[in-house]
Each structure stands twice: as C-alpha cells, then as structure tokens.
Amino acid sequence: MSSWLDDAVFYEIYPQSFNDTNADGIGDLPGIVEKLDYVRELGCNAIWINPCFESPFGDAGYDVADYCQVAPRYGTNDDLVHLFEEAHARDMHVLLDLVPGHTSIEHPWFRESCRAEKNEFSGRYVWTDDVWTPVGDVPGVNGVLRGIAERNGAVAVNFFAFQPALNYGFYRVTEPWQSAMDSPEALATRQAMKDVMAFWLERGCDGFRVDMAGSLVKDDPEQEGTIALWQDMRAFLDERYPAAVLISEWGEPDKTIRAGFHMDFLLQFGTSHYMDLFRCEHPWFAREGAGDASEFVATYRRNMELTDGRGLMCIPSGNHDMDRLRKFLDPQEMKMAFAFIMSMPGCPFVYAGDEIGMRHLDVTSVEGGYQRTGARSPMQWDASEPNFGFSDAPADALYVRQDAAADAPTVAAEMADESSLWSELRRLIALRRATPALGVSAAVEFVYCEKNAYPLVYLRSAREEGGQRVLCALNPSASPVEVPCELAASRTIYELGAPCELSGGVLRMPGESAAFIGLA
C-alpha cells in the first residue's frame, strides 16, 4: 500500500460547486488551490476531485469528451498541474476521478466509431452488427442507442443515452458482434485507458478514484473478467508508476482487493447496509434510537473475512451521488456519525460541505443530477453577499442555487465556534492521526452490536505486537444503555456528550454519548 495512505483523510471536491474565482457562477481549479490551506486546516491531507475534463456536461462531467484536457470552465491543464504542485507543497495528495466505462457521444473516439468505413476506433465501443439488433439482456448494459450513425449498428450505453459503453470485451461471447476480452479491439481500449492514466500521473496526479470500476467487461456475472482486467492495469502501474493509488467504486472489497485496488468504497447501493447507518427512514445514528446497525456489522465482518482482514472499506460522510447527510441527521447527530467514520479502518472521506452540515436542497435538476442535485449546491464559505463567498457572479448565474435559510451554515461561522460540527470533526481527525490504534490498517473487532439495539462497541488495535488498543463506544440514542464488557479501561482519550463508565465488567453510556477508551 502506498505509504501516504497510512495517514490519509480524504476530502471530496465537486469542482463545480467549491470555489469560483472568475465570477462565472461555476467553481474552478484556481478556486481549489485558493482553499487548499482550508482543507489542510480541517485535517484532510488528500483530495478526490470529481471529473474536471472536457465534457458536454450532460452528466456533470461523467460524460467525458477528452480525458486529457481540462474543461475550460475549470481552467487549463497547467492549472491542474499547478494544483498538484501546490497540494504536494502542503504534503497533500490528489486523486482524479477516472471514468473508464463510457464516454460522451462527443468524444472523438465515438465520432470515429460511428463512421461506416472501418477504422482504428470501430471497435472502441460495444456495437451490434445491425441497427435493429439489440444488445439483449446483458449484465453491465443499460440499453442501446440507435439511429445516430451512418454505421449499421446499435451501440450499448452504460447509463444515460449519451454515455456509450467502451469495449473491454465480453467475458462470455455468445454473438458474432461481441468482442472477446483478448481481442485486438478490447485490448486497444484497455491500452487507451492506460495511456490516460499515464498522462496524468506524469503530470503529478497521485492516482485515481475509479468510477463504477466493476462494470467494464460485459456479460461478466461473477466479474472475473473485470478483475483480470484490473490486475493487468495494476501490473502496468506497478511497473511504471508503483506509487499510484487506485480506489474503486465497486462495493465488493473481496473482488477489488484481488483486482489490485488499494481500497473500496461503501456505496449507497449494493449489499453494504451503509444506508442503514446514515440515510434511511430510521438511521442508526439518529437520537430516536430506532435504527439497526447489525446488518452493516455482519456485512463488514464478512468482507473482512473474505479479504483476510485486508478489505479496507472507505466510509464516506457522503458524496455527490447521495442525499446530504444533514437531510437525515442534525449537526449534533452528525458529530456522532463522524466519530464513527473517523474511528473505523480504511481512509475516511469527507464530502465538501458535510463538515459544516450543509443541507440537501429541493432544486431543479442540473446537468443530469436529478435528486442528486440537492447535494451539489455551492459551498457556503461566509456570510458575505451575494453568494456566501462562493462567487461574485449574480445569484441566478450559480451552478446550483444555494441554501436560502436564515440559518444556512457557513465555514466562517463554524470555524469560529469551538462547539460546532466543524470543530468537532477537526478534533476527531487530529485524534485519529495521533492514535495508531485508530489508523487505516489497525485491526477492528466488534465487541457489541445487537439487532435493533444500542450501543455499537468495537475494539481497534495497532498491528504491532503489544500495540495500542482503543475501545470505541457509540450510543447515538437518547436513552442511556449499559452492556457487559470485560475489558479494563486505562484512560478515556475522547468523549462526546456526558462521560461514559467502564468498570466492573459493565460499560455504562448516557444517551447521545461516545467514548474512545484506551485499554490497560
């Protein structure tokens, strides 16, 4: 594992909505550079930037038109290189968002693939052999696009109709128009994506968060083909860029670790039960005390077993695809959620704005965001007019409108208040960094987690023999609880809410309390 990941706390920046320096209503790369010291002060030392490449922005940049060119609205390639340099000068690292599964229909590769005459790009996408031939019920394909090319064929799409699927081959070839994984066409696509990674790694990028990493090979029900593909990608990186980090949006760590990724995300869909904790009708972290963390813990344990303890699952506060955490939890409840996120294995991720409790807004869809748009509103830096310090553009020119409430949270107000969510998160990040047992790779053992019950208690242990051990206990519910616990306390290193007590084989916790307890 790249050594800097051992100490990494990530901050996700949605560039459109972070900081606008040229008054066009859209955030930009110079705006990110301007706020690097802020990110560092919070305690985050690594950044994931959502796609900032040339795009028609039908899907907020996840429809790439040129992987090697920064979109003009964000700046230039030189601006991105400057961002890498400024981050490194602060001992920070930067991951770019790689979208390898599809492009925009405006990508030159796709335009060439649409031509009737055979050319270098004819096999770059998944095309059938006749415009009336459907792709069929193929895992990893969400429909076809017809009638837009002189070529006689229909092209598979991954998500929106303007996102044609790149051709990495089929694990099971059942039709004459399907490419095998080792076909020249599929291998050419794979090489093209290696070239994209090399382009940015040469310019100072530290690695990639890979969008929908498990979706590349089609008709690959067990994803063995996609795993083999990424093993080849990792071998390429190990030979030329061994320090390059890969973090997957996949949701199945037993597959991603084997595929060569350093870490995997817990997703808002799939089997992780991440949503049970933070985003459901009765979140476990709500003070009402009606949630259930047991399925999350059971799945987490299973994933740890499947990966021999190496299945590091990044737990994000949220991201650009989820409703804001504040929609389900108030700032006090969010403090408890961050106590959990900052005390679990893997690299934690903070979505920009979650550190101040930005709200999820009810807004009209922008750039294919739909419901997600409410989590993509511009950052609220301070109380200044016209746009909370985000931009000098007219308010109606902003990428997404901002929170109009009189008590809309701002960075400036949160930083000035020692009791704020921002201040609590800053303390938690500093404590994590100073406590080996709370680190990325330290072991975790769940001590108490029962169905529909509180608290959640888990033991973190540094890997070295005789290393530090810390008991983490969380009771978000408003009711006091006590559970058996035979461990012997040494000292409490963190408290949230009223003090907890561990003595006589019993852990006693007041309502809405958390404690990290060093063990004798």
Domains and CATH numbers, the chain: 3-101+187-432 (3.20.20.80), 443-519 (2.60.40.1180)
The confidence score (pLDDT) of residue 108 equals 98
Name the one residue in this structure whose structure tokens are 């679990």: 344
Name the one residue in this structure whose structure tokens are 């259930």: 292
The confidence score (pLDDT) of residue 36 equals 98
Task: Give me the mean pLDDT over the 291-295 stretch.
Answer: 97
Judged against a pLDDT cut of 60, whether residue 1 lies above it is answered with: no
Confidence of residue 424 (pLDDT cuts 50, 70, 90): very high
**What does the pLDDT look like over 373-399, one tens digit per residue?**
999 999 999 999 899 999 999 999 999
Task: Give me the mean pLDDT over the 42-46 stretch.
Answer: 98
In angstroms, the Cα distances linking 48 to 95, 325, 331, 369, 388 are 5, 19, 24, 19, 23
The confidence score (pLDDT) of residue 467 equals 87
What value does the mean pLDDT of the chain take? 96
Judged against a pLDDT cut of 80, whether residue 158 lies above it is answered with: yes
Judged against a pLDDT cut of 70, whether residue 2 lies above it is answered with: no
Q: Report the Cα 456 to chain-centroid distance in Å.
A: 24
Task: Give me the mean pLDDT over the 151-165 stretch.
Answer: 96
Task: Break the chain down into helix, strand, coil percent, rounded to 5.
Answer: 30, 20, 50
Confidence of residue 80 (pLDDT cuts 50, 70, 90): very high
**What does the pLDDT look like over 115-141, one tens digit per residue?**
999 999 999 999 999 999 989 888 878
The confidence score (pLDDT) of residue 465 equals 76
Best CA proximity match to 130, nearest among 154, 110, 161: 154
The confidence score (pLDDT) of residue 210 equals 97
Judged against a pLDDT cut of 80, whether residue 466 lies above it is answered with: no
pTM: 0.97
Amino acid residing at 181: M
SS3 of 407-423:
CCCCHHHHHCCCCCHHH
Task: Give me the mean pLDDT over the 58-84 stretch.
Answer: 98
The confidence score (pLDDT) of residue 308 equals 81
**What does the pLDDT look like over 183-236, one tens digit per residue?**
999 999 999 999 999 999 999 999 999 999 999 999 999 999 999 999 999 999
Judged against a pLDDT cut of 80, whether residue 311 lies above it is answered with: no
- Of 31-40, 158-167, 217-226, 267-276, which range is least confident? 267-276
